[in-house]
Amino acid sequence: MARRRRPRRSGALGELPPLKILAQISIIQAILYVALTVFMFFTERVSGRDFSFNLVFGWSGIRGDTTEGWLTAFVWILAAGLVSAASIVYFVGRSKLVLDFAATLHVVHLVIVTLTHSLPANLAWWVTMGVSTGTAVLLGTWGCRHRELQPISFGGAAGNTASTTSGGPAATLTAAGTDGDEEQGFSRGRGRGRGRDGAGEYEMVPVVKTAENSRKD
């Protein structure tokens, strides 16, 4: 007997997690390279030097024995750390995935650098990539957790406020809770209450001393 197939969920073909993750990585990687290009171009022009894409896709520009090498490393950390963290928070928004995305971005960059030039042989380059990855992880995790902890509004606050102010059920319950405890057989702040047995109501009236009562006293 043939088994009955479960109907396919609507929109399942367009919700493939691998494709979504690949798209997110591609977008964040492109944003990273655009930011690096802008930062490097601005830094080189201000310093009076010519811009080269070797500063973005190469490894020889990051070195620890020259001022230019330190400046390039600082720009890398600034651009890659801040921009990567902000992009992960915006496009991913999950703190558990920050480390995976940050590490993937730098691994992809390592592959691109190795294919276009060679395997990086400069220790300063590896240290810069490590610091950049750590910065992206720390800032991205903080941003995602801050975003996850934001209160979620379901649109019911206005309705509850309106029912309370207009004398609805919420207002009735609030008034009953603040004015008195009818279950205990007495009322606080009101002159009317109900007994424990619910048989009837009683009303508290003020005792006025008359002139006759005063003479008796």
Q: Which residues of 124-161 are buried (b: 16+ CB within 10 A; e: fewer)?
A: bbeebbebbbebbbebbbebbeeeeeeeeeeeeeeeee
The closest alpha carbon to 109, from 96, 124, 126, belongs to: 126
Return the pLDDT at 3: 59
Phi-psi bin for 89: left (phi > 0), alpha (psi -120 to 50), beta?
Answer: alpha
As a whole number of angstroms, the distance between CA 77 and CA 113 comes to: 17
Return the pLDDT at 6: 60
pLDDT tens, position by position, for the chain (217 residues)? Answer: 455 656 555 444 444 488 888 898 999 999 999 999 999 998 888 888 888 888 889 888 888 888 888 988 998 898 888 888 899 999 888 888 899 899 999 999 999 999 988 898 889 999 999 999 999 999 999 988 888 787 766 655 444 444 444 444 444 444 444 444 444 444 444 445 455 555 555 555 555 555 455 555 5
Return the pLDDT at 128: 92
As a whole number of angstroms, the distance between CA 142 and CA 46 comes to: 33
Tokens 């930062």 belong to residue: 39
As a whole number of angstroms, the distance between CA 133 and CA 32 comes to: 13
